[in-house]
Structure 1
């Protein structure tokens, strides 16, 4: 559902900007890293660690034993902090759906680098799930 939503949103953006005087030259918010500045391993690790951190925070503050009225605030601030750190490197994905939609309409390098924005977040999220399942959030 997220992927379909991202594709529909990117299509809507593409339709909107297609009427731009002089033509549109932007990337529709597609993720990517500048290969002249960053290596693929740097981009991969940023996305993996960022997703791991984000999912770990979500699982921690929404755990039945640790519920808090501030869960939404903690999750939002974590996401904001991750974006501040990772945007200069990859544009910050942390979610494959967020990358798939824009890449389909941007083409070029965005499509060529898309695999990283699918694989790294899936691995980071899976590791966070394993860590949470191992009982990291259990109270004594």
Structure 2
């Protein structure tokens, strides 16, 4: 239970900091320039770094259902723990957007609109207006890369003390490329929270941000296990 609660807390923080950076401080705030693409990328990545060193010793700091399912596919996590982790992660993300929506609705004149609260999406009217095919490929490929990095840095030959930093910086790089395409998910829980509160197109398109990251995580895990890892890993 403590592992599940740790995953809930970690995903809560990741979603609140990341989506909060995008929804509250991403653009121009009054007369002050917002964070922009780089700032939002750093918010997500640094949240992972901080949580890795906070809850990593307790639960491994997955804070992402795709990672937990990838670890299940690798034989590193039981079915029972995977289910508990995913439930905890999902609840954490929803609670984070509950807090974020409360904050945003406290702003005079705030109107949520489509794809609110840092929701992921694609198509006409969403950021770079990319197609569904581009969105699916981006989420699949970047999640696969993410899982390969995670498996590598947490393997026997990896530097355990630096693993959290390497994983967080990888997420920064992924966001720097993928934000214009999908807003960057690579994490079904992170997408679930905003979609529930935003509704509309965000909720209709949620399926892609569940399916593509999970498929990508399994592909990345299999690629690491059978094409990259050595017997010493």
Fold shared, TM-score > 0.5 on shorter chain = yes
1:28 and 2:117 equivalent? yes
Q: Would you say the 8 A contact 1:65–1:138 is kept in 2?
A: no
Taking the aligned partners of 1:73 and 1:66, their CA distance within structure 2 comes to: 12
TM-score (norm. length: structure 1): 0.91
Question: What 5-or-longer segments of structure 2 have no aligned partner?
Answer: 1-87
Taking the aligned partners of 1:22 and 1:55, their CA distance within structure 2 comes to: 41
Tell me the CA shift for residue 25 of structure 1: 2.9
Q: CA RMSD in A?
A: 1.7
Question: What 5-or-longer segments of structure 1 have no aligned partner?
Answer: none
Q: Which has the higher contact order (CA 8 A, sep 6+)?
A: 1
Tell me the CA shift for residue 71 of structure 1: 1.9
Tell me the CA shift for residue 68 of structure 1: 4.6
Three-state SS of the structure 2 residue aligned to 1:100 is: helix
1:92 and 2:177 equivalent? no
Tell me the CA shift for residue 16 of structure 1: 1.9
| 1:25-67 Cα shifts (integer Å, max 9, x gaps) | 3610110113363111100000000100111101011111333
Tell me the CA shift for residue 139 of structure 1: 5.6
Moved more, 18-27 or 4-13: 18-27
Find runs of 4+ consecutive structure 1 residues off by over 3 angstroms. none
Count of residue correspondences: 140
Moved more, 57-66 or 88-97: 57-66
Residues 12 and 97 (structure 1 numbering): CA distance in 2 closer, same or farther, change over 3 Å? same
Three-state SS of the structure 2 residue aligned to 1:134 is: helix
| 1:84-129 Cα shifts (integer Å, max 9, x gaps) | 0000110000010000000000111101110000000000001111
Taking the aligned partners of 2:154 and 2:161, their CA distance within structure 1 comes to: 10
TM-score (norm. length: structure 2): 0.56
Taking the aligned partners of 1:25 and 1:2, their CA distance within structure 2 comes to: 24
Three-state SS of the structure 2 residue aligned to 1:63 is: coil
Q: Look up the match of 2:146.
A: 54
